[in-house]
Chains A and B, each alone.
With several copies, the nearest count.
Chain A
Amino acid sequence: MSAWVPPRYAHHVPPRPGGVEQARVAIVGGGLVGLTAALDLARRGIASVLLDEDDTLSTGSRAICFSQRTLEIMGRLGIGQRFLDKGITWNRGRVFFRDREAYSFDLLPESGHEYPAFVNLQQYYAEQWLIEACEASGLVDLRWGSRVTGVVPRADGAALEVETRSGPYRLDAEWVLACDGVHSKVRRALDLPFTGQVFDDRFLIADVRMQADFPSERWFWFDPPFHPGQSVLLHKQPDDLWRIDFQLGRDADPEAEREPERVRARVAAMLGEGVAFDLDWVSVYTFRCRRLERFRHGRVLFLGDAAHQVSPFGARGGNGGVQDADNLCWKLAIVLQGEAPERLLDSYDAERIPAADENIRHSSRATDFITPKGSACRAYRDAVLELARDLPLARPFVNSGRLSQPAVLRDSPLNGPDEAPRAAPPGTACPDAPILRDGQPDWLLRQFGQGFLLLAREAHPVKMEGLRTVELRDSPRPGALHDHSGLAAARLGLAPGECALVRPDQHIAARFATTAPDPILAALRRARSL
């Protein structure tokens, strides 16, 4: 299979170079997160202008592992199936220590989900599909070759200085979503501190093209014979590509390590003699774990790597950024639509800062485990790995990356009561489940749409203003979803007569023991900061 050639997009030509334009929402950065935000707003009827300094997609595998929650979000945005069709589905991980397997694990042993635990996919495919969907929506003004060179925040928005090949112009936006990555120009323009822990180890990513019969699993080696003293991670991607991450240690020379012959030698040592391969992409990186103190700064909101940076272990960068967009866009949409006050956006900080901290915590811990510093850290690390083969109790300590899970927004100010606490407390992303609709197999989350929702089991709530009702029934009934397997009720922890208020981002806002409307309407108001 020949190498994929990325599309080139036409540079934006401002109609009045040197002039001033207006936008309700400007999104800075057309990567995974910015494009997701643009499409999510579009799905809610909100138009946006997206500015990206480049004119093509990202290169290399990058955010390779797309988590179930990200896939569900992409499903809500209408492009989930493309990930399933193209991506490499995997649920199993294997951990090796020195010359033997320490153990293996299943990420999602349970069936009954539309999406698997993870699919592997080069980031550029995801970006391409998002762009196509944004273009098809008619609500996203994609401006390529548009570099933001200045940001002046104002009470009612921000003024962006934009440079293009055809000249500069000013874009006055009511809202700015900064999705411009770890080196965010918006963040720097606002001179916001971006602080945290520095890790010294260098890593090498090699995207390798070859015919190989490794299974669709995540393989992680601690201290393998072919790369002694360091770690190696192997992932399968579509198009006969394999992503390999080599830990290089602290003293590695990044220039030398990027040399193709050196990389080829490392890969050959791993694959063994006689395995033909091509290098598709190579990168040497270090990383930090850090974040902004707040993600909302008036009318400027930071998403993804622009707001927080994590280590790559755990696939928490891309997936975390997509969840930022998922969290923010419905709020911004109903604020713009006059259905909620502006202070609703403060909940973006209240919800996504703990989520970012969780991602940073998990990825920092994984980094500490993978690159132990000092004799105690190494002793514990190796002790765990030596015990893990024979003793199940040691396996939970093995940390080759805690793979991204949807954040549970436990302490959100938007959460309402939990009248019947069982599974899925307020703040949880609603679990998917198989259902029958009119006798046809379908999935629960597909029924949710883009608005607030009351999900009731074995009950028929009265009609409430601004709230769609979905009934879950244990037996077929017209107009209701048939929970034929019982999985929906079980995963949601809904007893007959109970119901749950679900937010536009599919998170549970409150749980009720009955369908009495007053507490439900109160929770709905709370979830909109009314």
Chain B
Amino acid sequence: MKLRRDPNLSDPDALYAALMEAHRGLDEAASRRLDAKLVLLLANHIGDEAVLKEALDLARGTVPGQDAAPATD
């Protein structure tokens, strides 16, 4: 399986807002743990190591985007 690179959420704003709300009021260490937990929970849910590696490479910026055309949508 490959990591999805197309938008795949019905309401990305709602997810983003929920993430921001979850971090609200946390101290720095707790905020970092929250992200770490999310990464681990979501990674475990996905389970597919190839997908996770692709996500990690993209997050690190070590893989050039496959979208070589001008970045428009």
Contacts and interface: CB of A to CB of B under 8 A. Distances in A.
Chains A and B directly touch (beta carbon < 8 Å): yes
Given A384-B40, A391-B67, A392-B67, A397 B20 contact: no
B7 A392 contact: yes
A412 B9 CA distance: 27
A124 to B, nearest CB: 33
B56 interface: no
B71 A101 contact: yes
A363 to B, nearest CB: 11
A361 to B, nearest CB: 8
Nearest to A382: B33
Nearest to A102: B71
Contacts of A106: 72
A374 interface: yes
20 contacts: A103-B72, A104-B72, A104-B73, A105-B72, A365-B17, A374-B31, A376-B32, A377-B20, A378-B32, A380-B20, A380-B40, A383-B34, A384-B40, A391-B67, A392-B73, A393-B5, A393-B7, A396-B9, A397-B13, A399-B16
A392 B5 contact: yes
Contacts, number: 109
A261 interface: no
B interface residue count range (under 10 / 10 to 19 / 20 to 34 / 35 or more): 35 or more
A390 interface: yes
Interface residues of A, number: 35
Interface string A78-109: 00000000000000000000000111111000
A383 B40 CA distance: 9
Interface of A: 101-106, 361-362, 365, 368-369, 374-380, 382-384, 386-397, 399, 402
A36 B22 CA distance: 41
B63 to A, nearest CB: 9
A403 to B, nearest CB: 13
Given A104-B73, A375-B28, A399-B16, 11 more contacts: A104-B71, A365-B17, A383-B40, A387-B37, A390-B66, A392-B5, A392-B7, A393-B6, A393-B41, A396-B9, A399-B13
Given A384-B40, A396-B9, A376 B23 contact: yes
A375 B44 contact: no
A379 to B, nearest CB: 4
B71 A375 contact: no
A379 B32 contact: yes
Given A365-B16, A377-B20, A396 B7 contact: yes
Contacts of A386: 33, 37, 61
B19 interface: yes
Contacts of B39: 380
A103 B58 CA distance: 17
Nearest to B25: A374
Interface string B34-66: 111101110010000000000000100100111
A402 B73 CA distance: 16
Nearest to B68: A390
Nearest to A394: B40
B29 interface: yes
A375 B17 contact: no
